Amino acid sequence: MSPPRLAVEEVSLAFSGLLALDEVCFTVEPGTVHAVIGPNGAGKSSLLNTLCGIYPVTGGRILLDEHEVTRLRTDRIAALGVGRTFQNIVVSPQESVLDNLMVGRHRLTSAGLVATALWLGRREQRRHEERVREIAHFVGLSARLDSTAGLLAYGDLKRLEFARALCLEPRLLILDEPVAGLNAAESWELGQLVLTARKALDLTVVFVEHDMGVVMSIADRITVLDFGRVVAEGLPAEVRRDPIVVSAYLGAPDRPEATPQAERTPQ
C-alpha cells in the first residue's frame, strides 16, 4: 500500500482557556519525512496527540488521504495505519522486549476475534512473532529480545519504542522526540534508521525533535511552531535561515524556556 498524505487544516486545540494550537496548517506529502520543531511548550506534542485522536480538536480538520480522521477514536485512527511513539518512554518494564513488541501487533491480531480453534491462534501468534523478530533485527535489538525491558540501556529503550511503533505496520509513523537523551552517534544512527524505515516500509513520517542536527539531516520539510501557531514552514535550508525561526527558537538568549538542545545551532 502506498504511503498516505496528511493534511492538517486550521487545527485548533484549547485547554480550559489556554490555546495550545491556533489554526495550525501544513501538509505532509506521501513518503516524505516532516519535522515539527519549536520551543518547549510550543504545542508540538499536543499537535501529535490531535493527529492520533488522543486530544479532540476544538477546530479544523485532519485528513489522511481521503479519510477525515478529526473526530475518530484512537483505535480507529490506528486501524487506518497510524503508529506513534511518545515523548516519555512507555514500556512495560517487567515484560520482555519480545512481549513489549508483540503489544505493537495488537491491532493486527485477529485470533481473539475470529479464531475459535486454538491451533489457529497459535499459528497466527507464530506469524506475528516472526515479523516482530524481523523488526527487532532491523533496529538492532535481536540480541535483546528475551531481556526484561526495564533493564535495557536507555539507547535500547528508544529503539524499542521505535520498533514497537513499526510493529503496528503503520503507513503514517509519528515520532515524538525519537532521539531525545541519546548521544550524538546514537542520534545519528536512529535518524538514519528512520530514513531506512521510510524507504523500506513505504512510510510517511512526522516527527518532533529538538536535535537540530538530526532534524536538518533527515527532514524533507519542517514546520515551526511557537505559542501554538505556525511561524515558519519550508525546506531545512530555508527554515534554518528564517529570521523568525532564529529569534523564536534557534538561539535567542532571552528565551529562558529554550532547552539546551533547542539552543544548538543547526549543523
Ligand X SMILES: Nc1ncnc2c1ncn2[C@@H]1O[C@H](COP(=O)(O)OP(=O)(O)OP(=O)(O)O)[C@@H](O)[C@H]1O
- Rounded distance between C-alpha atoms, residue 15 and residue 261, angstroms: 27
CB of 32 or CB of 45, closer to ligand X: 45
Burial class (CB in 10 A: 0-12, 13-18, 19+), 166: buried
Which CB, 42 or 167, lies closer to ligand X?
A: 42
Burial classification of residue 156, based on how many CB atoms lie within 10 Å of its CB (0-12 exposed, 13-18 middle, 19 or more buried): buried
Angle made by CA atoms 108, 157, 122, in degrees to the nearest 5 = 30
Handedness of CA 111, 114, 117, 120 (dihedral sign): negative
Which listed option, Mg ion, ligand X, none, makes contact with residue 41 (CB within 5 to 8 Å by class)?
ligand X
Query: In the complex with ligand X, which residue's Cβ is closer, 41 or 140?
Result: 41
Q: What is the DSSP letter of 147?
A: S
Contacts (CB under 5 A) with Mg ion, residues 84-123: 87
CB of 174 to Mg ion, least distance (A): 12
Residue ranges in 45-74 that form contacts with Mg ion under rule CB under 5 A: 45
Comparing CB distances to Mg ion, the nearer of 45 and 50 is: 45
Nearest distance from residue 168's CB to ligand X, in Å?
22
Cα dist. 217→5, 35, 139, 261 in Å? 22, 11, 19, 15
Cβ at position 13, least distance to ligand X in Å: 8
Residue of this chain nearest to Mg ion (CB atom): 45
- Among candidate residues 157, 170, 163, 232, the one with its CA nearest the CA of residue 202: 170
Candidate segments 36-44, 161-169, 184-192, 225-233, binder of Mg ion by CB under 5 A: 36-44
**Shortest distance, CB of residue 30 to ligand X, whole angstroms?**
25
Shortest Cβ distance from residue 87 to Mg ion (Å)? 5
Residues in contact with ligand X by the rule CB under 6 A: 15, 18, 20, 38, 40-46, 87
DSSP state of 247: I
Q: Which is nearer to ligand X, 124 or 209 (CB)?
A: 209
Decide: helix, strand or coil at residue 183: coil
Binding site for Mg ion (CB under 5 A): 44-45, 87
